Structure 1
Amino acid sequence: MSILIKNGYVIYGDNLEVIKADVYIENNEISKIGKDLNVGADYVIDAKGKVVSPGFINAHTHSPMVILRGLADDLALMEWLQNHIWPIERKLKPDHIYWGALLGVLEMIKSGTTTFVDMYFHMEEVAKAVEKAGMRAYLSYGMADLGNEEKRNTEIKETLKLLEFIENLDSPRVEFLFGPHAPYTCSPELLGWVREKADETGKKITIHISETRDEVRQIKEKYGKTPVEFLDELGFLKDDVVAAHGVWLSDKEVKILAEKGVTIVHNPASNMKLASGVMPLKKLLDAGVNVALGTDGAASNNNLDMVEEMKLTSLLHKVHDLDPTVADAGTIFKIASQNGAKALNLNAGVIKEGALADIVIFDFNKPHLRPITNVISHIVYSANGSDIETTIIDGKIVMLDREVLTVDEEKVLDKVQEIIDELR
C-alpha cells in the first residue's frame, strides 16, 4: 500500500526542521519527502493547513486500567493501590482486560500515540486488542513475587507463557518485554532470573524505580542501598532497561543510570496526581540519560493523552526549577518521540526517509493553533490530543478524519461501561 500526504507542514528529521513538503509512504516505510512529489499512490491525503508529525511513543502505561478511570482519585499511592486498585483488579477477568485494552488503544490512537509500552496481567488479551486495532506495542506481564518462592514460580510461568504467545503471534507490531514490577515487590532471585532471561533472549525489560520516598526508604531498610544502587549491584542495569518514574534519585544514582545506558520514563501527570514528587529532569538530561515520556495508567493520570503530557512536563519543570528556559518545547517533543524510539531500538519517532511510517497529522485549522508561527511550540503548549486528525501506523491508515477504521468505537464504549457497572 502507498500513501501520499500533500501540502503539509512536515516536522522533518532529528532536528525537528519544519518544512512545507509532501510525504510519500510505501508499504510500512517513509520513502520520499519533498515539495510537489509527482508519484502515484493508493491514498492521497491533503494536509493543507495541517502538520505532519512523528507519532508519539507512550513509554510507560497500563492500558487496561482505563477501566478503573475515576474510581479512586485524590489518594496517596499506597492507599490508592492497596485499598482500592488491587481489590478491584482481583475481580478482573481476561475478557475485561481485552475490552479495557481496546478502549485504551482507541484513546491513544485518537490522541497521537503510535507505540506504547505496557505492563499488566492477562497480557495475551492486550496483544489481541493491539493486533486488532493496528497499533504498535511492547507488552510485559507485571511480575511481583514479594519474596515468596511459590509466587515467583507462578510469575515466571506467566511471563514465559506471554513470551511464547507473542512469538507465535508473529506480528511486526507486537513485541515482548520482561516486566518485573519494582525492586520493592520483586525478590533478588526474581530480578536475577529476569536479567538472565533478558540476556538470553535479547528482549528488553521494563520496571518501576524510585517512584516514591517510601519505596526508597523500604529498599534502604531492607538492603542498605538505594533502589538504583541495589539493582546495579545485582548486575540488573543495562541499556535494555526502560525504567518508569525515577522521581527520587540521588546524584550518584543519576550517574549510574547514565553509565549503564538505562532509559528513564517520565510520568509527570501521575507523579503530580499521586503527590509522588518531581523527577530531576534537568539532572538526568545533563548527565546524558535517555529520558522518554509516558502517561502511566488512566487510573492515576487520568487520560492517555501524550500531547497533554508534553505540556505538563514542560510547565512542571519550569516552575519547579524557577527557570523558564528548562524543558523547552523542542526538548520535550524529542522526549515524547525520538527518545522513546531510542529506548526501544525502534526506527520511528522521526520523519525521514527510511523510517517506519508511524505518523500523525495535526489539524492546525483551529483558532487555538493559529497563526502558524512556531509549530513545535504550538504542539507542546497549545494543542491537545483531540487535534490529531489522522493516525498512520506501520504504513496503514488507522484513523482518518477522527474516525478509527479498525475498531467499532461505539461498541467498545458500551462494552466497557457494562463491565464497570457490573464490577462496582
Structure 2
Amino acid sequence: MTVRLEVDRWFPQPGRRSGARDLSLEIDGSEVAATSGSGGTGLLAMLAPVNAHDHGYGVRTLDFGCVDDALEPWIASLRLRPATDPYMEALVAFGRMLQSGCCATMHCHNSLHAERLFEEAKAVVRAARESGIRLALSCPLLDSSPWIYGDVEELRGLASAAEWKRISGLLPDYRPVGDQIAAVEEVARKHHGTGVDVQFGPIGPQWASNAMLEQIADASHASGRRIHMHLLESPRQRHWLDRRFPDGVVRHLDSIGFLSPRLAVAHGVQLRPDECDLLAERGVTVVTNPSANLRLRSGIAPLEALRRSGVNVAVGLDGTGFDDDQDIWREARLASLLHGGKEIDPAVTPAELFDAMTTNGAAVVNHPTGGDVVTVDYAEMTRDALFDDVDELTMILTRMTKSFVRDLVIAGKHVVSNGRIASFDFDAARGELLAQAKSALPELEKQRGNADLLAGLIRRYYRERFPQG
C-alpha cells in the first residue's frame, strides 16, 4: 500500500539533517521517497515518535481513583483497576498514542495472573493489529510480593490480625521461574510472524529472586530475545537494593550476564555515574519517563550523566504524561526543560531529543520505524509568527502538542488522517470501555477500603523503616 502526502517541510532525520521544502512524500511500507511538490499545505512531516515504555492504560489511573502518590503506596492503589476486556483496554490506550502521533509502543503488560497471560496477550496483539500501531509486548515476570521490597511478613507485623485477614488473601501466587519463562516463549511462538516483538518483562530486580534474574539472562542469551525492565525508579528501591547487593544492583546484573544491547531499562532515576558508564559499555538503553517520575515523586533521571557516558536514551509516557494526556510531544518538552542545564549552551541538544523519540525508541521496541511518518499542522502552530525562518525543531520542542497531529502513516497505512484515527472508531471504543468500567463499580467500592488499608500500611512501613530524604 502506498500513501502520498504533500508537505511544506520534511525532516527525515530531525536535528541530524536539514529539512527540505515543498515535497511530495510517497510512503510505501518502510520506504519514503521525496520528490518536488507544490507545497501550500501548511504541513511539516517528520519521523513518527515511539512510546518506548508504557502500560496500556485504557482506563487511566486517576479515573479509577489511583491518585498520584509516592510510587510504593501508589502501586497498592492499582488494585482498584476495574475488570475490563483486555482487548478494549489496549485498543483505547493505543488510540490515545496514535492521536499523539506515536507509531510504536513498548507495552509492559499489567496482569500478574500467569494463567491469563496467553489470552490477554492475544487480546493486546489483536488491538495492536486493528489499530495499526507497532507493538513490542513485555510479558511480566516476578516471584516476590509487589507490596513491599523484601519479606512481606515485615508488613504483616504492622497490621492488626483483623487487618491482615482482610488483605492477605489478595497476595498473588507465583508459578515456578522456569514455567514463567516458558510461558513467555510460548506467547512468542503463538504470535510469531504477526510483527509483534515479544520480550521478557521482569518487573524489576526488587521483585525478582536471584534465580529468576539469572534464568532470564540465560534465556535471553540463548534465544536473542530482548528484556525490558524497570530499574532504580525510587529512592526506596535504591536503598533496599543496595542492602541486597552491596556492590550495587547494576554490577550484580552485569556479573550474571544480564546487561547487553538486548536490554532496555525504564526510569533509572537513581543511577550513579559509574553505573551509567557500565550501562553504556554494555550497550543498554535507558528509557526516561519524566512525567511519571515527577508525578510519583521518584525524582529526576540523571540524563546528563547518561549522556556523558554515551548511553542511548529513549522516551516513554509510562501511561501518564504531564497532563495525563499521553502526549509524547509534551513529554519530550518536559525532558528538554528538565535537562537543559544552566550553561550558555543547552546540555541536551534537539538532535539528541529527537533521536531519543525516534531511532533509540525504535531499538527498544525492536521495530524498523524509519518509514513511519507523522505530519503536524505547522501553519496553525506558527500562525502568529512574524518570521518564517525560526528553527522548526525549536518551535516543535516549544509548542507542539498532539492537537497539531494531522497524519500518521505506519507501515504504509494511513492510520491517522486529518487529525482523526482512521483505523477504528476511537470514540465508540472509549465509550464501550467506560461502560465496562462503570459496570465494575460495585466491586470497586468493596475494594477501596482494602486498597486504602494496604496503601496506609505500605506508607507506614517505608516511613518507619527506610531513611527519609
Residue 49 of structure 1: which of 38, 42, 51 is its match?
A: 42
Aligned to 1:398: 415
Please give the alpha-carbon distance, in whole angstroms, between the structure 1 residues aligned to 2:384 and 2:196.
Answer: 37
Check if 1:127 corresponds to 2:122.
Answer: no
Question: Could you say what secondary structure the match of 1:131 adopts?
Answer: helix
Please give the alpha-carbon distance, in whole angstroms, between the structure 2 residues aligned to 1:31 and 1:278.
Answer: 37
Check if 1:362 corresponds to 2:362.
Answer: no
Check if 1:339 corresponds to 2:353.
Answer: no
Aligned to 1:328: 349
Partners of 1:180 and 1:186 within 8 A in 2:
yes
Aligned to 1:78: 72
- Higher Cα Rg, which structure: 2
Residue 58 of structure 1: which of 47, 51, 58 is its match?
A: 51
Residue 275 of structure 2: which of 253, 257, 281 is its match?
A: 253
Please give the alpha-carbon distance, in whole angstroms, between the structure 2 residues aligned to 1:294 and 1:7.
Answer: 28
**Superposition TM-score, scaled by structure 2 size:** 0.79
Percent pairwise identity: 24
Please give the alpha-carbon distance, in whole angstroms, between the structure 2 residues aligned to 1:159 and 1:419.
Answer: 32
Question: Could you say what secondary structure the match of 2:53 adopts?
Answer: strand
Please give the alpha-carbon distance, in whole angstroms, between the structure 1 residues aligned to 2:236 and 2:344.
Answer: 28
Residue 88 of structure 1: which of 55, 80, 92 is its match?
A: 80
Question: Could you say what secondary structure the match of 1:312 adopts?
Answer: helix
Please give the alpha-carbon distance, in whole angstroms, between the structure 2 residues aligned to 1:253 and 1:309.
Answer: 25
Call closer, same or farther: CA 1:412–1:226 in 2, change over 3 Å: same
Call closer, same or farther: CA 1:330–1:277 in 2, change over 3 Å: same
Counterpart of 1:244, as a letter, is: A
**Superposition TM-score, scaled by structure 1 size:** 0.87
Call closer, same or farther: CA 1:154–1:66 in 2, change over 3 Å: farther
* Deviations, residues 176-210 of structure 1 (Å, cap 9, x unaligned): 11100001001111111111111222111000011
The Cα shift of 1:152 comes to 5.0
The Cα shift of 1:238 comes to 0.6
Structure 2 portions without partners, runs of 5+: 112-119, 146-150, 152-171, 445-469
Residue 113 of structure 1: which of 95, 102, 113 is its match?
A: 102
Structural RMSD (CA): 2.5
Question: Could you say what secondary structure the match of 2:260 adopts?
Answer: coil
Counterpart of 1:128, as a letter, is: R
Deviates more, 1:399-408 or 1:291-300: 291-300
Aligned to 1:43: none
Aligned to 1:351: none
The Cα shift of 1:68 comes to 2.5
Partners of 1:398 and 1:404 within 8 A in 2:
yes
Aligned to 2:6: 6
User: Which runs of structure 2 are paired with 1:124-203 in the superposition (5 Å)?
Assistant: 124-146=122-144, 153=175, 157=179, 160-203=182-225
Call closer, same or farther: CA 1:225–1:408 in 2, change over 3 Å: same
User: Which runs of structure 2 are paired with 1:298-337 in the superposition (5 Å)?
Assistant: 298=320, 302-318=324-340, 325-337=346-358
Counterpart of 1:271, as a letter, is: N
* Deviations, residues 234-293 of structure 1 (Å, cap 9, x unaligned): 221111001001111112101110111000000000001111011111111111100110
The Cα shift of 1:386 comes to 1.6
Structure 1 portions without partners, runs of 5+: 38-45, 349-354
Please give the alpha-carbon distance, in whole angstroms, between the structure 1 residues aligned to 2:383 and 2:340.
Answer: 22
* Deviations, residues 372-401 of structure 1 (Å, cap 9, x unaligned): 422111211111012111111111011111
Aligned to 1:230: 252
Aligned to 2:165: none
Please give the alpha-carbon distance, in whole angstroms, between the structure 2 residues aligned to 1:272 and 1:282.
Answer: 17
Please give the alpha-carbon distance, in whole angstroms, between the structure 2 residues aligned to 1:228 and 1:66.
Answer: 34
Partners of 1:369 and 1:382 within 8 A in 2:
no
Call closer, same or farther: CA 1:324–1:103 in 2, change over 3 Å: farther
Question: Could you say what secondary structure the match of 1:64 adopts?
Answer: coil
Aligned to 1:98: 87
